[in-house]
Every structure is written in structure tokens, then in C-alpha cells.
Amino acid sequence: MSDITFDCANVPVSVAAQALKMDSQTVRLLLQQGVVSWGCAYKRTPKSQHYSYLIYPKKFYEETGFVYKGGAES
């Protein structure tokens, strides 16, 4: 594997969607349904109706080839 350094702990959903050429809602649904291994969706409290999302930069790179270095979302 190459010498890539991952400076961030999370890829924003909007950035992942752009890299995958799909809309953000589709990425959120993939994470909620556990269809992908490069991230997860979770509720902060059992009664919450809202999800939070975590996309692992290294795993996302390994499966998509996209390197997220942080910075402003586009």
C-alpha cells in the first residue's frame, strides 16, 4: 500500500456522494442500511429520529480510490 496519510477521522457525506457521483441522500441510505463497509449510521440516543454518519477515510479510499484530505466541503 502507498504512503497515504489520512489527516481526518471522517469524510463528510456530501464529499463521499460527490466522489461516488450520487446524491447525498443515497449515501445516507446506504449507510443506514449497512450496505457499505466504509462507514456507518447511528442514532445518538435510542429515541432519536435523526442519524449521524461516520465515513472512514482509509476504508473509503481502499474501496473507492478517493483520498479525502479534509478542508472545506464542496
Question: In the predicted model, what is the mean pLDDT of residues 50-57?
Answer: 97
The whole-number pLDDT of residue 5 equals: 86
pLDDT surpasses 70 at 73 = no
Across-strand partners of 42?
52
> pLDDT tens digits for 2-51?
678 888 889 999 999 999 999 999 999 999 999 999 999 999 999 999 99
- What pTM did the predictor assign? 0.86
Cα(8)–Cα(25) distance, rounded to whole angstroms? 22
At 3 the pLDDT is: 77
Closest of 28, 26, 23, 24 to residue 41, by C-alpha:
28
